[in-house]
Amino acid sequence: MNKLSIINEIDEMLNTYCEGCFVRAQIRKDEGKTAAHRFCISNCTIGTQLQFLGNELNKTGSNK
């Protein structure tokens, strides 16, 4: 995968699944921003996929 395709995939996932997420909004309302962020990183399947893509992006480095 090249850098641009990874970035586009991340952007598409965020727009499709994360924007307007009811679970995140509810946790943020009940427990705060930190708890919602922790949920997204550790419990959400989309968050896990985003972490994988982020790691792949790091592997590509800053070289063109």
Looking at residue 61, its pLDDT comes to 77
Average pLDDT over residues 18-34: 96
Instruction: Answer yes or no: pTM beyond 0.85.
Output: no
- pLDDT 10s digits, 43-53: 999 999 999 99
Looking at residue 63, its pLDDT comes to 59
- 55 alpha-carbon distance from chain centroid: 12
